Structure formats: C-alpha cells, structure tokens
A and B are shown apart, each in its own frame.
Chain A
C-alpha cells in the first residue's frame, strides 16, 4: 500500500477504533472515554488536513477492492471529498466537546459515544466514497449508526421517531440501491470520475436515464429532507441536542445533500444533465422545499422544531445550486453552502441545547429576556440567525450572493426572487426570537433552572457555539482569502473544469 492509501485508511480508523474501544469501556470511566474521543477527533482533523494539502498539491489516491464484477469498493480523495471530510471532522470535534458537557451524569454514555464515533467514521466514508456502490454502503450504515442515537432517550416518543426515521431512510436506501443497479446495467461502472458517463448514452437511453436520475434523487433526497420526503426530520428532534447537531450539520442531512452533489457533478455530469433536461425538475423541488420549509418554520413554537424546518429549507439551497450546474457562480454558491449551512446550523443547535440544558427552555414563548441571563449563548445564536437570513458579513450572505449572481447570469430572475422571499421568511422567523430574547422582559422564573455557576452555563457547552459562531463570521469576512471554504470551492469548480 502506498502512503496515500494508508492515509485514507487511517482517516477512517481514527474514529472507528476509538468507537470500538469506547463500546468495551465500562460506563464509569468517563475520563478515559473523553480523552479517547478528543484524541481521535484531533488526530482525524490533522490527517484530513494533510490529505487536503496533498490534494491541493495535485496528488490523488485511491483504494480499490473488487468484490464481484460490478461491485467495487473504492475510496478516493478528491477536492470535493476533502471539502465534506474537513467540514465533518471539524464539526465532529466541536460536537464531541459539546456532547461530553451535555451528557454529564446521564446514563448510557459509553453506548452513546461509541455510536457517535461510528457515525462519524461512516460520514467520512461517505465523503471518501469513490463510486455509487461505496457511497451506498456508507449511506446505509449511516442510518444504522444514527438510529441508536435518535432513540437514545428510550421514551415512547423517541422510539416512534426512530421508527419513522428508519422507514424513511431505508426506503430511500432501497430506492437508491435499485437505481444504482439499474444505472450500472445501462451505463456500466459508476466511478465518480468528474465528467459523468459518455454522452452517447443520452441519445440511446434518455427516458431510462431520466427515470434513474429521479430515483437517485429520491434515494438521497430522503436524507437531504427534500419535500415531500422530509417527514422524519422534525420528529427526530426528540434526540439529545448533540445528536440533532450531528443529524443537521455534520452527518445525515449533509450526506443527502452531498449525495445530490455527487450525482449531479460526478455520476451524470453537467453536460448530460443539460442534454436530458432534468435540471428544471431539481430546481422546482428545491424551490418548493426552500419555501415550504420556511413557511412551516414560521408556525412552530418549539425552538428545535423551528430549527428543523429551517434546516429543510436551507439544505435545499445546495440542491438549488446544483440545479444551476451550468453556471459556475451558482455552483460555487451551492457547494459552499454545504459548509456554511453546517456552521450556522450547528451554532443554532448548540445554543438551543444550552437553553434547554441550563434553563429548561424548549419553546420560543419561554425565551423572553433570556439574553440577559445567557448573553454569550444568545450572541452566538444571533450570529447564526443573521447568517441564516443572509446578512453580511456572515457566511450565509456569501452563499446567497453567489447563488443569486449565478441565477442572474443564467437569466433566471426567479432564483433571485426565491432567495429574496426565503430571506424574508428567514427574517420573519428568526428576528422575533432575537427581539424577544434581547429586548423582552423575563416573565416569571425559568421553566427549570438546571445550572447555576460561574459562567452562564457549563464551559464545555459554552465554548463550542462560540467557536462556530466565530467561524461563521470569520469565514464570511475572509471569504476571499487564500484559505477559506469559498477558496476551496473555487478550487473544486476549477478542477471540474466548469
């Protein structure tokens, strides 16, 4: 094996092995468990940064394992996988710190952190997957490893949410498997080569290819929570806050969005999709999802539920960017939103978790005046919310700017309209929260004050949202610098030759 292959394997093992060891650890050894977790995630970030550097320098590496003809496992480091892997590993470190603070004293922690590590291993596997079969393998495993986290609380409600999650996710997986097999039967191997299959198939098999494209998008759309396949996501909010953060920002929803990107850019290729004429379909679904998610978010009083519907809406920006794949600017906007949405949403979920863990606040109506009690948390929340609305200089503005420019360049004025309406709706459901929290008067005691101490909440709960909020600002301010998500996305788009 070459050094590059060792690198790929050790990136996966750096969270897999800690996960396995954590399963075997006795419940009470939480120091050892925390050390293992943090070492694993730091090591993973370091390894992924090495991989990023090498990829930037033009190296490429892959591990290929033929199982039967047509079924190959392929791990592959390319700029796009580097983007997703870096995002997931950085957010995983923060989420781990947060989860350690969040789950202090609660039962079943070894179980929780074991699955947590496996879940990230699988997510990185999705990032590194080099063909549809490998993608499918990790995609199904992601469902399996997140299920125990969703039902972690063990209540009837969480079991019901877990059951729905499984039904949605595995049905999506089954459709995806069907489509992958079919696609292979039509066009042969489906490596993520960067150009898609040969355009000659478009002439001969256009109807079938359109059908397969729809099935593939349905398959990944379940996890990406495209309307009408989004039903599981708001229910899954019963899970503990670190899990919600993981589902929304690091792993599950992101895996679905990443799948859409892979299918559009690598499996089909921009050229074939234009010939097939299916992009308006994707654009339509994305638009409906963006608007529907925002409108539903308006109606929610539960803070986490509002955030969940907001995720549904925001993730579809990525799909919207993909549907304008022939416009480099829109493509940049969609791709970079993968990172930006993750940063913003994880900040919001951390803050929501802090409110629940510190003061027992679960509803927006209970939030009046909370900023005076928890100023730092609410400051982070505000930055995240501004990002969602798209106010400069946050990263949310950068995504929308590029999406809008791309839409205009293609002469699609409706894109700008959708962005404007969605920003307006975002403002409608975030600004009231902010005014209430900052300027409202505290009405009676907090629902359940769980923590009183030197800081506004436990330090391990406070630091992660502050860090992510800082990144939300910083990555927006330095978007044009050499090292920023935007710079990397430009590099990706150059690599694809668009």
Chain B
C-alpha cells in the first residue's frame, strides 16, 4: 500500500479524485448530498494539509500519472503557490459548503416553492463537487493540455451553477458566461496548438527549461493570455462578470467570485512569470498594469453606483482583480518571488473576504427578500453576526491593517516607490479609498435601526447562515498577522521562481 506513507507523491491525486467521486455519489444518492459533500471537502482539507506538510519536509514534488514520465505521460506537481491556492480553495470551499447547507435548508423551509429549491439543491451539490475537482486539478496540473481539460470542467460546471437560480436574468447571464468561458477555452486551446507546433512538449517543466522564445511561442502565449484574461474578467473584458455573479444563488456567487476567477489568473501568472519569462516584454507588463489600474478604478466607481448589494459586491470583484494585475509592472525590480507574495496574499485575502461578503448578501436577501441598498436599514438588529462579518470583510477589502490585503498593498507600495513608479502607488491608494466609500455606503444603512424594529431573530435561522461568513471574514482580517506562515510555504520548493528573474527582467 503505497498510500500509507506520508511521503508518497500519490497523495496529490486525492484533491482531484475525492471531489469527483463525491460528485458522482451526490448524483446517485440525492438524499445524502450534504453529508457526502461535507465529507469530501473535509477530506480535501486534510489532504491539502498533508501535502503542505510534505512540501515543508520534502520540497516540491512531481507525480507522474501511471508511472509515465513526461513528455509521454502527464504529471502533477506541488509547490508553494499551488498549495496555497489549494489551501485557499479548501478553506473557502469548506465554509461555502456549510453555508450552502444553511442556505438551502432555509429556502426549502419556504413551503410554496419548496420543490424548486429542492431541485436546485439536488443539482448544486454534484456540480459544486465537479467544480472543486476542476479547480484542484488546475492548481496541481503540470501539463498545459491537462490544464485545458480542467478549464473546460470549471467553465461548464460554473456556468451551470450560475444558471441554477432559474430566473430569466440569471439564465441570460449564465448563458453569456458559458459562451465567454468557451471562447476563452478555445482561444487557450488554439494557443496550445501553436505551442505544441513550436516546442513539441506540453509539460510545464520541460517548457520552462526549453525557454524557447520564437514567434510561435509568442503567438501561443498571446492567445493563451487572451483566453485566460477573458475568464479572469480583467477590465475591459469584465462585462460578463457582474450579471453572472450577482444573479446566481448566494453560495454560487461566493464560489464564482472567490475561487473560479482566481484559477485562470493563477495560470496566467504562472505562464508569464515562471514558464515563459523570457518572452515577456516591459511594454506588455506595463500594459497589464494599466489594465489593472483601470479595473481598480472603474470597478470601484461602478460598485459605488450600484443600487443592489449583490451587484455592488460583484463590481467590487472587478475592482479587486485589478490589484492582481497592477503588480505586473513591478516584476522589473523585485523579481517574481516578491511578486508571488503580493498576488498570493491578494488572492487569499480577497477570496476569504469576497466569499464572506456574498454570503452576507445572500443571508440579507433571505432575511429581507430583497437587497436594495437604500432599504437595508435595521438589519443589524436581527442579524448582528452577519453585519459584523460584513464589516470585517469590508475592512479587508479596503486593505486596512492587519488584513492580508494590507500586507499585499504594503508590498505593492514599497515596490512601486522603490522603483520610482509612484503612479501605481497612487492608484492603489485611491482604490482603497473608493472601496471605503462603497463598503461604508452599505454599512451605514446596516447600522441604522429605525424605530420599532424588534430584536427578535427570525425563527428558522440556522447558525450555518451566519458563522461561516464570520469565520472567513476573520481569516481574511488576521491573515496579515500570520503572514510569515504563507510566506514560508510560498518560499518552499520555489527554487525555479528564484532563478527565473535573478536580476530583474532584461
């Protein structure tokens, strides 16, 4: 039994296989869906912890499927960034699973529509498991075609999840989402064709070692990047995101905003700074930085103008994604090790904070029956924990200390000042201030308690609707204080990272 040993690389199959099996089981046993899914996400969490332990003890690992070495076989690998993304998925996924349970239970409690909600729940669990498998696969894959497969898996399950709510608006939005996702995948596939034509290999390690810089590779990278940018919803390709995220069911919005967009961003980042660093030029980096800056400002301004809570949160995602890209032009000074810390911190903090915020929005929606911002008064009286979670998640989005986003912003600021590119620092600061405005526009409504509002909680309110959001919000807030741990994990097994930009870009 090779699995009995803690040091075998085969453990890294589990985060992919477990949710797949769980998804299948959810489909077969539709009465026990929650138990199956919970078992899967818990097991997934434990395996990820084990993988991190492996990484810290044995360093970065490869698992060749079926014993075939690349270029023939396909392989999985673990390293610092991949495992942090896995951990992010596992933790957020666990909280979302618990929340989804509370969410569906509450909705099924509503007798006239119980049938519809039961149907939604029946489809939700298998699709969510499928999506989880896809995400874990994406982070672990070390093969560029295998990644395409996971991208498709993610795209299709995410679009189906987005369509679950069944309202016409969400149908339209999710259909558009599906088309965009397919377009992105196809562009990516086209890129692979170019790449295979010029390099002849698909394994990421081999591609990195080839460091081919021909026109074929450049075209391939351009195509793949466009595909991934579409999926990441970087401004101006973000148009599909707000309607799709805002019209989905709350647990689905949390999944889409917290995890799915991070997957494609992670790939993009890995390709740019690890696999093909020699292909990247300074104008390209500046271009991405400019798009990121535009995303930060545009998304925040749009978020300020929204009348519905969920749309505001969705636009805030557009804005926050910009921070991931604004780090790109700073690669010239610090090399990619610092860059990885910035984007990983940003991604971790945003993932926790944003899923907490969508959960809050969902809970408020369930409670009030609407999410119009101007009519949100009095929520604090009945849902104090939810409002508290919102506040903390908001602090994290604003990047105030000690949140994880603060650490990321600190590094962004110090990099941009050290390299005399102070304009990026200005964008980061104004982004935070705009975030303050949209966060507190809602917060001030929550805080007002009109006369005659009772403090009695609605009867069937499950703690599962409130506590997962608070837990995630607290994680994102205190991520800054435990910053040395993620940084330690990140520095493990990333020798390749350190080498890729020894003295900055040429």
Give A residues with C-beta under 8 Å from B. 23, 27, 65-68, 70-71, 73, 107-108, 111, 133, 136-137, 140-141, 144, 147-148, 151, 154, 159, 162-163, 166-167, 170-171, 173-175, 177-178, 181-182, 184-185
Contacts and interface: CB of A to CB of B under 8 A. Distances in A.
Contact of B414 (A108, A147, A163, A185): A185
Contact of A182 (B417, B448, B483, B487): B417
Contacts of B444: 151, 159, 162-163
Contacts of A27: 455
B330 to A, nearest CB: 13
Contact of B413 (A67, A173, A175, A177): A177
Interface stretch (B227-235, B257-265, B304-312, B395-403): B395-403
A178 B413 contact: yes
A137 B432 contact: no
Contacts of A107: 449
Contacts, number: 83
Interface string B19-56: 00000000000000000000000000000000000000
B437 interface: yes
Contact of A181 (B402, B413, B436): B413
B407 interface: yes
B433 A68 contact: no
Interface string B378-422: 001000100000010001001011100001001101100110000
Interface string B420-461: 000001000100110011001000100111100001000000
Given A171-B433, A177-B429, A178-B429, A67 B440 contact: no
Given A68-B484, A144-B395, A167 B437 contact: yes
A265 B487 CA distance: 35
A113 to B, nearest CB: 14
Nearest to A147: B440
15 contacts: A65-B481, A67-B483, A68-B487, A70-B410, A108-B449, A111-B380, A136-B401, A140-B400, A151-B447, A166-B436, A166-B440, A170-B432, A174-B429, A181-B410, A182-B417
A66 B417 CA distance: 21
A160 to B, nearest CB: 9
Interface string B480-503: 110110010000000000000000
Return the 9 tightest CB-CB contacts between A and B, nearest first.
A137-B401, A154-B448, A181-B413, A174-B429, A67-B483, A140-B400, A170-B436, A185-B417, A181-B414
B410 A137 contact: no
A2 B261 CA distance: 47
Contacts of B433: 167, 170-171, 174
Interface string B74-94: 000000000000000000000
Contacts of A67: 402, 407, 480-481, 483-484
Nearest to A170: B436
Contacts of A173: 400
Nearest to B481: A67
B441 to A, nearest CB: 8
Contacts of B400: 140-141, 144, 173
Interface string B240-263: 000000000000000000000000
Given A151-B444, A174-B429, A185 B401 contact: no
B215 to A, nearest CB: 40
Given A148-B447, A178-B413, A178-B425, 18 more contacts: A23-B384, A67-B481, A67-B483, A70-B410, A133-B401, A137-B401, A140-B401, A144-B400, A151-B448, A154-B450, A159-B444, A163-B440, A166-B436, A170-B433, A174-B429, A181-B417, A185-B414, A185-B417
Nearest to A173: B400
A66 B484 contact: yes
